[in-house]
Structure 1
Amino acid sequence: MSQLRASRSGLLVGIVICIFIFLYLRNSSPEEPEEEPTYPVVAECGFYPDELCSALFEGKGAAPQIAKFCKNPHRSEILAHLHTPGNCSRISHGLHFITRPLSLEESNFSLAYIITIHKELAMFVQLLRAIYVPENIYCIHVDEKAPKKYKSAVQTLVNCFENIFISSKRKKVVYADFTRLQADINCMKDLVYSKYQWNYVINLCGQDFPIKTNKEIIHYIKRKWNGKNIIPGVIQPPNIKSEMSQSHSGVTPEGNAYASPNKRFIDEPPHNLTVYSGSAYFVLTRKFVEFVLTDIRAKDLLRWSKDIYSPEQHYWVTLNQLKDAPGTIPNAGGEGNIRAIKWKKEEGNTHDGCKGQYVQDACVYGLGDLPWIIRSPSLFANKFEPSTDPLVVTCLERRHRLRVLRQAEVPAEPHWHFQQDVHFNMKPHG
């Protein structure tokens, strides 16, 4: 009997705290002092109430502190599907994939994606299902250094979709090394030789997440670029070879592999090409990709790039300067809103500072960065570390899916919706 009373007492405490949290969110404002709340329990918030996410997007002062008390079982639900191979319908439905075209316009304008990954399996699934529609095609480059269980789980997922495949050639990717560029090239070959037709290719990494829907991405490409490549970056003057170097591999304090400068590069670029510096991330036309894979200048530049530091930051933008290459825009400069990134050097200018933490001078987003992210005109944002703060991606994903379903021109399937239940499992500390 005493146990029953204790259970009822615990339940009442949980209900009272839940009510307090939501009342506090509704009534709080950015002007109120941000005090660190202290509660006797931790709320396991299930699939996170949309109200809490809305408060974070609106920048309500108390929301980030309250969110710290929510554990995230969402990742466990994703991983359970992938580590238990079974019926593919159960996987695609259980993981809430969009399973048919959402509009005629999208059906007639297919995109190809290259995604390079090596960690954060749950984050990869969230990224993939956010950008997935059945008329697109997806090449996944799984880093050779990834754990065996990770590779197996990705293969389980890929096997359930005809238009998703793992790159036929895989590399152990080293940061700022030629292997990063080679991974994209390998996927491009697979995409060009596949049976699928596509208009543009977009490359992403596992720490990216879309801000815009598939329809919005297509609108941006068609209305602003219309058959042109998008390779933003700072274009440097000629004779920058002194800044390039051969490289050797190392490890960052975070444990990630990287390539660091070793000695000056001596050889001149092939075909008297002027080497420029730009973004490693792009939106390219299919004709330009075919040019890259066949043109002698592109092939020779690729061979030359094997010995320079961060060749992916030079290769694409240099080829995009060639007047006879398809879809090029010489002297395009930094045009193109592909990725929203908070660089440390731009704090106080293009953004108000990182609310998470800087890693290699780029912001790993925190909850306080959400208002800035959703206001960005960019197609994608980078970078995210769900193991540090999973609610950042979870809220963005829920917002993204709601926008997708609102824009859809076909009736939504039940499994396209994320779980809407608001439930709390109150657990004592200890």
Structure 2
Amino acid sequence: MLQLGGTKCSFLLCLGISIVICSAIYLRARVPTEPQPQGGSLGCRPFSNNCRAFLPGSEEGAEWHRHDCQVESYILNSHLDCSDLIRDLHFITRPLSLEEESYPLAFILTVHKELELLVRLLRAIYTPQNVYCIHVDAKSPREYQEAVQRLVHCLPNAFTSSRSETVTYAGFSRLQADVNCMKDLVRSKVRWRKVVNLCGQDFPVKSNLELVRYMQSKLWRDRNMTPGVKQPKTMGYRTQLQYMEIVGSHVAQKGKGLKKGPPPHRLQVYFGTAYYALTRDFVNFVLESPLARDLLEWSKDTFSPDEHYWVTLNHIKEAPGSNIDGGWSGAIRAIKWRDQEGKVHNGCKGRYVRDICIYGLEDLPWIIERNSMFANKFESSTFPEALDCLEQWHKNKVLRQAMVPIQPSWLLATMVNSNTSSYCNSSSQTL
């Protein structure tokens, strides 16, 4: 009997030791380790040699190893733990300064494709004090829509629009998508100060801190930013003729050039960019004012109404934050238009699509020098090196300006000193 009891005790002791050892091995596997210097993560594209000029340490022979290379396949995994997702995709998890925390921003992202671009854009502009509304085109593939839902589920201050439009290029649906997000944002618990709209092929140039300071500058503190001018005669066809959307395809004229009636309330129509930075009071005006609602209704059968709606309302004296004499001021987007080649820029180093440059790596010096809020457009499939380089340059700047300790999980890449074969992981060395 005593022998049996001793055997039982020995068995339990061995079992306990085995459990402890297995637990230790499991926990060690779960805890992220320091990046290894043998080439970074598997499948990572190395930074182009032409990118070195934008990254610190290159003059000393240092190399940068990327840790994030499988964004799209990672998000498409339907069995993700949110804490792992936020860590592995390098989202910033706390406000980087009191200045930013006290001036939260709202963002509207209208997207329909390129999941990788969306993730990289969102994490570049993401901070916990802001709020993000993502409008996913109703015609986007189901897999894409589900992946976006999984992503925002893990971000408490991000959500998808409560109403989704089938967006048509140059159609009213594009404008309606922004309005839908605005209706959601005014109900948010986040007391955001200004709202900025983005598309899925944008990428930031300014850091969040720089955006906050720019919007609080003397020129823009209480004003809306809607670059534009009185509608030129060459653009008159957009609002003088009637158009209809061929859903999900294109916009076409109604009949044989049916004419529209004049704009409501004798408004002067302006023409400008579809991008903006708007005060919260102005957004309330857009959603509540009969004048704004009448202009929205009148705009339903116009061509590309988002390029006249915001700027026209911002030239109404009674509108909160109106900027009647603003003209084209406001550094919202760095865009290379084909017809401005040789005047505003030195040509597109990538390729033109609808007369807008899809940026290549050699376009980055121009983008950085202009220092607009955002740059448009990028494609991860055709010119991936341009986005890789700008993303790392931007993250370096964001973390360099931070007033809080840098978390290792926030880093997109690590600098390796080839002379010492050691990693530089501190914020001063990494940035």
2:251 is aligned to: 259
1:30 is aligned to: none
| Match among 390, 399, 404 for residue 405 of structure 1 | 399
1:248-327 correspondence to structure 2 within 5 Å:
248-249=244-245, 257-262=249-254, 263-327=257-321
Give the C-alpha shift of residue 196 in structure 1: 1.4
Q: Extract unaligned runs of 5+ from structure 1.
A: 1-43, 61-71, 424-430
1:48 is aligned to: 46
2:242 is aligned to: 246
Please tell me whether the aligned partners of residues 68 and 89 of structure 2 are also in contact (alpha carbons under 8 angstroms).
no
Identical pairs, percent: 51
1:232 is aligned to: 227
Please tell me whether the aligned partners of residues 100 and 212 of structure 2 are also in contact (alpha carbons under 8 angstroms).
yes
The one-letter code sitting in structure 2 at the alignment partner of 1:372 is W
The one-letter code sitting in structure 1 at the alignment partner of 2:225 is I
CA distance in 1, matches of 2:234, 2:265: 14
**Structure 1 residues 264, 336: CA separation in 2 closer, same or farther (over 3 Å shift)?**
farther
1:367 aligns with 2:365: no
Give the C-alpha shift of residue 234 in structure 1: 3.4
Please tell me whether the aligned partners of residues 245 and 252 of structure 2 are also in contact (alpha carbons under 8 angstroms).
yes
- Runs of 4+ in structure 1 over 3 Å off: 49-52, 55-58, 72-75, 237-243, 248-251
**Structure 1 residues 140, 347: CA separation in 2 closer, same or farther (over 3 Å shift)?**
same
1:184 aligns with 2:184: no
CA distance in 1, matches of 2:110, 2:378: 14
Please tell me whether the aligned partners of residues 130 and 192 of structure 2 are also in contact (alpha carbons under 8 angstroms).
yes
CA distance in 1, matches of 2:312, 2:178: 16
Deviation per CA, 1:87-129: give whole Å up to 9, x if none.
1000000000000000000000000000000000001000000
Please report the TM-score for the alignment, with normalisation by the length of structure 1. Answer: 0.80
Please tell me whether the aligned partners of residues 103 and 410 of structure 1 are also in contact (alpha carbons under 8 angstroms).
yes
CA distance in 2, matches of 1:73, 1:309: 44
Please tell me whether the aligned partners of residues 47 and 422 of structure 1 are also in contact (alpha carbons under 8 angstroms).
no
Q: Extract unaligned runs of 5+ from structure 2.
A: 1-41, 59-65, 418-431
1:198 aligns with 2:169: no
**Structure 1 residues 233, 204: CA separation in 2 closer, same or farther (over 3 Å shift)?**
same
CA distance in 2, matches of 1:116, 1:142: 6
Provide the aligned C-alpha RMSD in A: 2.5
CA distance in 2, matches of 1:243, 1:176: 10
The one-letter code sitting in structure 2 at the alignment partner of 1:280 is A
**Structure 1 residues 250, 342: CA separation in 2 closer, same or farther (over 3 Å shift)?**
farther
1:6 is aligned to: none
1:131 aligns with 2:129: no
1:415-430 correspondence to structure 2 within 5 Å:
415-420=409-414
Q: Secondary structure at 2:308's aligned position in 1?
A: helix
Please tell me whether the aligned partners of residues 75 and 147 of structure 2 are also in contact (alpha carbons under 8 angstroms).
no
1:74-85 correspondence to structure 2 within 5 Å:
75-85=69-79
1:24 is aligned to: none
1:347 is aligned to: 341
Rg (Cα) greater in structure: 2
**Structure 1 residues 90, 284: CA separation in 2 closer, same or farther (over 3 Å shift)?**
same
The one-letter code sitting in structure 2 at the alignment partner of 1:198 is W
1:168 aligns with 2:162: yes
Aligned residues: 364
1:390 is aligned to: 384
